[in-house]
Amino acid sequence: MPNGDPMITPAEIQKNQPIPVISDSTINQKAQKPNKFLNILGGLAGGALNMVAPGIGSLIGGAIGGSGSAFGSYGSLIDQQRQFEKMQRYNQVSNMMQQQQNQAMMDQQRKQSYKLIEMQNRVSMQAQEFSTVSNLLKSRHDSEMNAVNNIKS
């Protein structure tokens, strides 16, 4: 978690982070400590509910007691919001990079398709040329054979 330490959080990131505005009422809420009775009640309720529904009991017990969960503290909500915003930025950058990679792949596939079509056209032209030359040679041969047969008869 960023805490302003330049060794943990680089200076560039510290400068770009928004400064949250905290009103006087939230400062008073932040300074309040959870009630001991609620801590004990939350622990008992969490333990009892963990026997019935494991995992849910600790969440409900933490919510009742105000400790051990993110429900009770304003600071942890701010940290969660920062993490969420950070994840959104990373997601946007990731999506943009993925779109660029997809576009590059599509361009490469398009170029390969054009090369393949060009190759098919060349092969088709060669086949037509071969067929034409073959037909010419065949007709020449046939006419020479007719001439030889006419001389014999």
User: Residue ranges per domain, the chain?
Assistant: 11-121
Taking residues 117-137, what's their average pLDDT? 96
For residue 20, pLDDT beyond 90: no
Mean model confidence pLDDT for the chain: 76
Q: pLDDT grade, residue 152 (50/70/90)? A: confident
Taking residues 7-16, what's their average pLDDT? 54
Q: What is the pLDDT of residues 51-84, one digit of tens each?
A: 776 666 666 666 666 654 444 466 677 878 888 8
The contacts of residue 1 (CB under 8 Å, 6+ apart) are: 79
DSSP state letters, 81-130: HHHHHHHHHHHHHHHHHHHHHHHHHHHHHHHHHHHHHHHHHHHHHHHHHH
Q: Which two tokens stand for residue 107?
A: 């361009």
Which residue type occupies 56?
A: I
For residue 10, pLDDT beyond 70: no
